Structure 1
Amino acid sequence: MRVALALARRGLGQVAPNPAVGCVLVQYDHEGGRVVGRGWTQPGGRPHAETEAIGRAGKESLGSVAYVTLEPCAHQGHTDPCADALISAGIKRAVVATLDPDERVSGKGILRMKRAGIQVDLGCCNRQARQLNAGFLATRETGRPHVALKVATTFDGKIAAINRHSQWITGPESRAYGHLLRSRFDVILTGSGTVLNDNPMMTCRLPGLEKYSPIRALVLGHRKIPFDSKILSYEHGPPTLVYLGYKHSLAEDNVFLKKVEVCKVRCDTFGYPVLSEILADLVARGITRVLVEAGSRLNTAFLKAEGVDEIHWFRASTILGNDSIPVIGDLGQDNVEKLRRFSVIEQKRMGNDMYELLSKQANG
C-alpha cells in the first residue's frame, strides 16, 4: 500500500477535480509477492489508476491482489467504473485504504466487488490515504478546498525586516522544496502586498517540473499593483485569477493583461474580498488543493476564518527581532484554552533550516 500511496502522489496538483489515486497489482506464490502492474491517476484526471495498473499487468492481473489508495469508483463517467474493471480483470482480493465519500460511490465500489466474489479489506494506511487526498475529500465532505499555508520565517517567526526586505530568509534547499510543493497544488494564492514587496512569479521553476506550475490566484484589496507585475505577465500556463471586491475601483479592461481572469466577489466590512467566496469559486472551478503564499495580513485572515488545514513552515536559524514583520498578525486570542492547535506530521532539516508540516487538529 505504501507503494500505491507513493504512486498516487505523482498526481497531486495535476488531476483535479478527481482524486490522486495509486494502484498496485501483486501476484503471490510460495516464494512471496511479485508486482505485476502499477498505475496512478494521469494528468487531467484520466485514465484512472486501476485501469492503468490493469493495462500494465495484462493477463497477469488474473488472480492478483489489488492495493488501491481510494475506493474504486462505481459510476459511469467519462470512463467505465473502476470496480467493474477490477472485476473483469479477475482479481481475487482488493485492499482499499479508504472510502470515497462521493455520493456516486461511497461504499458502492466495495459492495460491487464483494458481490462479484472478491475479498475486500478496508482501512490499510487509512490516515495516510486521507492526508494524501485531503483536497478531494474536503470538497466532498465540507464543500471547500484543502487550504495550506506555506511560510518561510526566521527562528523568531518574522518574514521580513522592518523595511520589508525579505530575500532571502531561508536557504536554497528550502526554496527548492517550496517549488516542489507548488507543483503538488492546484492553485497558489497570494495578496497584493506580497506582489508589491517581492514581485514573485509564483511558478514552479525546478528543472523538469516547470509545466506543473499551479494556477495562480491574486487577492486584491485596497492596493493597486503595477501592470508589469510578474504574476500578471507570465506567458505560460492558464490565466491568473484575480479576485476583486464588487466595489473595487480598478477597470478590468485597463489593468489586467490577456492572461488574467477577473473574478468579482463580495467584500467584507473592511473592503477586502470575502475568503469563503473565493474558496467557493475555486471549488466551482474544480480546484481541490490551494497553497497560500502570502504576507501577514492574508495569513492572518485565513487563520481567523478557520480556513487553514495545514501549514508548511520553513524556519531559518536566524533572528530579526520584534521590530520586524511577523508571519501572523493579531488574532484577538485572549484564552489559551482555545488556541488554534496543529499537530506536527513531519519534520526534517533542509540545509541550515528546519521544515515542519503541521496539520490542524479537530475541534475538541
Structure 2
Amino acid sequence: MTSPADPVALMQLALQHARHGEGYVEPNPMVGAVVATAEGTVISTGHHQRFGEPHAEINAIRAAGSATVGNDLYVTLEPCSHFGKTPPCADAVIKAGFRRVFVGCQDPAPHVAGQGIQRLRNAGLEVTVGVCETESRRLVAPFVMLMLQRRPWIHAKWAMTLDGRIASRTGHSEWISSDASRALVHQLRGRMDAIITGAGTVRSDDPLLTARPAGPRTPLRVVIDADGLSLHADTNLIKSLSQGSVLVCVADDAATDDVGRLKSLGVEVAACAASEPGRIDLRVVMAELGRRGCTNVLTEAGSGILGSLFDSSLIDEVHIFIAPRLIGGASAHGPIGGLGRESIPAIPNVKQIRHTSIGDDLLIEGDVCRE
C-alpha cells in the first residue's frame, strides 16, 4: 500500500521554487507551483519567472503535459481569476484536469480575494487552502505592502561590531565587515528597486550604491537631502549615472537655485514635506517610491535616517552584519538614532529570524513585528 502525499513537504518545494523569481517578478509576487501524484511523486515544478510572463501554475502545467489529469497541484498563492498581462490561471488549472489543488494562501488583492479558489470549487475540484500559510504569506508580504499600503517593503541594512557600533567616535567606518559580507550586500542590492541613503553618508563615504556585479534589478539610488547641497559633479553618484538613476529628495522649501543645480547634474528631484524644520518626512518619500512602483527598498544610511525610519515604523526587515571586532567609546555611533522607544514593552520584536555565518562575521536577518 502506497503512502499518501505530504502536502507540507510539497508546498515547501513550491515555496523553494517561488524564491527563484526574486528580483525578476516584481511588482508581482513570487509564486511557485508543483504538480504531483496523490502519492506525492513530483511530476513537474514551475515558478513565476519574470514580470509579464506566465505565472507559476502555467509553467508547471506546461512542464507536466497530459500528466496533470487526475493529479494534484500545489501552488503558494491562490490562482488568479482575472485577465491582466496573462489570462486567468484558475481557468488553466480547471482545463488541466487536476483532481485536487492545495493553496498556500489566499490572494489579498481585492480583484482576486478568494474568487480564484471559488472558481476552482465551482468546477468540482477539491481545494485545500492554508498549507504552509505563514511562509506563503511572508513570501508575498512586499507585494501586499505595495498594493494595500501604497509603499514599498523597507529593508534596513547595517554592519556593526560586537559592541553595537557602526563607526568610531570620529565617524570612521571603512570597513567593519569582511569582503565576503560586502559581497552579499551587493547581491542584496541587485534585488532592490531602490537604495536610500542620507546626505551625511554621501559626504562622508561618497558611495556608489550600485550592485557589483549587476543583479536582476538596477536600483534607483535615492538621497535624502533636505537642502540639496550634498551632490556635486565629482560625487560618485553623479559620475556613475550611466549605471543607474539618482533621485534626490529635498525639502519642499529648498532654494530654487539649489534644486536647479541638482537637475543640471542629471538627477531627478522630488520636493517632499518636512516632518520638522530641516528634516524630510520619510513617509512622504516612501509614498513617492510607492507611486513609482518600487516593491523592495534598501536603506544604507547612518543612524539619523535609520532612526527616523524606526520612529515612523517604516522598517519591515533587517539585515545586520556583525563583525567580531570592538570599537568602544561612549560617543561612538550606534546603528539606530532618533527618539527610540520609551519602554521595553513598547519595543517591536524581530521575527522570522535567519542566521548565516560568513567566515567570522554573522548575518542576522528578520522581520520587524509591530503587533
Matched, 1:218 2:231: no
Cα separation, 2, equivalents of 1:237 and 1:332: 36
* 3-state SS of 1:10 partner: helix
Q: Which residue of 2 aligns with 1:326?
A: 334
Cα separation, 1, equivalents of 2:279 and 2:98: 54
Kept in 2, the 8 Å contact 1:239–1:260? The answer is: yes
Kept in 2, the 8 Å contact 1:245–1:273? The answer is: yes
Matched, 1:64 2:77: no
Cα separation, 2, equivalents of 1:335 and 1:269: 24
Cα separation, 2, equivalents of 1:253 and 1:221: 14
Cα separation, 2, equivalents of 1:26 and 1:214: 38
1:203 to 210, 213, 221: 210
Q: 1:158 to 1:256 in 2, by over 3 A?
A: farther
Matched, 1:98 2:108: no
* 3-state SS of 1:121 partner: strand
Letter in 2 for 1:110: I
Cα separation, 1, equivalents of 2:283 and 2:161: 30
Q: Which of 151-160 and 261-270 deviates more?
A: 261-270
Q: CA deviation at 1:344?
A: 5.5
Q: Which residue of 1 aligns with 2:240?
A: 234
Q: CA deviation at 1:218?
A: 1.9
Letter in 1 for 2:223: L
Matches of residues 10-25 of structure 1 in structure 2 within 5 Å? 10-25=20-35
1:194 to 195, 201, 218: 201
Q: 1:109 to 1:257 in 2, by over 3 A?
A: farther
Q: Which residue of 2 aligns with 1:130?
A: 137
Cα separation, 2, equivalents of 1:202 and 1:45: 28
Kept in 2, the 8 Å contact 1:344–1:356? The answer is: no
Q: CA deviation at 1:106?
A: 0.6
Kept in 2, the 8 Å contact 1:11–1:41? The answer is: yes
Q: 1:97 to 1:266 in 2, by over 3 A?
A: same
TM-score (norm 2): 0.89
1:307 to 279, 293, 314: 314
* 3-state SS of 1:150 partner: strand
Kept in 1, the 8 Å contact 2:218–2:244? The answer is: no
Cα separation, 2, equivalents of 1:211 and 1:141: 25
Kept in 2, the 8 Å contact 1:311–1:357? The answer is: yes
Q: Which of 242-251 and 63-72 deviates more?
A: 242-251
Deviations along 1:240-266, whole A, 9 cap, x unmatched? 222222112254443246763222221
- Across the aligned residues of Structure 1 and Structure 2, the Cα RMSD in angstroms comes to 2.1
* 3-state SS of 2:280 partner: coil
Cα separation, 2, equivalents of 1:353 and 1:328: 20
Q: Which of 68-77 and 246-255 deviates more?
A: 246-255
Matched, 1:298 2:305: yes
Matches of residues 248-259 of structure 1 in structure 2 within 5 Å? 248-249=254-255, 251-256=258-263
Kept in 2, the 8 Å contact 1:158–1:324? The answer is: yes
Deviations along 1:3-62, whole A, 9 cap, x unmatched? 221222222233222111112222346xx50332x2222333432222222222222233
Unmatched segments (≥5 aa) in structure 1:
none
Cα separation, 1, equivalents of 2:71 and 2:53: 23
1:44 to 37, 45, 51: 51
Kept in 2, the 8 Å contact 1:189–1:217? The answer is: yes
Kept in 2, the 8 Å contact 1:97–1:124? The answer is: yes
1:282 to 279, 289, 294: 289
Q: 1:74 to 1:225 in 2, by over 3 A?
A: same
Q: CA deviation at 1:124?
A: 1.3
Q: Which residue of 1 aligns with 2:62?
A: 55
Q: Which residue of 2 aligns with 1:8?
A: 18
Q: Which of 161-170 and 179-188 deviates more?
A: 179-188
Unmatched segments (≥5 aa) in structure 2:
1-10
* 3-state SS of 1:97 partner: strand
Cα separation, 1, equivalents of 2:263 and 2:170: 28
Kept in 1, the 8 Å contact 2:210–2:243? The answer is: no
Letter in 2 for 1:212: R
Q: 1:67 to 1:192 in 2, by over 3 A?
A: same
Q: Which residue of 2 aligns with 1:266?
A: 273
Kept in 1, the 8 Å contact 2:101–2:128? The answer is: yes
Letter in 1 for 2:139: L
Deviations along 1:52-85, whole A, 9 cap, x unmatched? 2222222223333221111111111121111112
Letter in 2 for 1:214: P
Q: Which residue of 1 aligns with 2:3?
A: none
Kept in 2, the 8 Å contact 1:13–1:214? The answer is: no
Kept in 1, the 8 Å contact 2:303–2:336? The answer is: yes
User: What is the percent sequence identity of the aligned residues?
Assistant: 36
Q: CA deviation at 1:296?
A: 0.7
* 3-state SS of 1:225 partner: coil
Q: Which of 185-194 and 258-267 deviates more?
A: 258-267
Kept in 2, the 8 Å contact 1:215–1:237? The answer is: no
Q: CA deviation at 1:315?
A: 0.8
Q: 1:332 to 1:284 in 2, by over 3 A?
A: closer
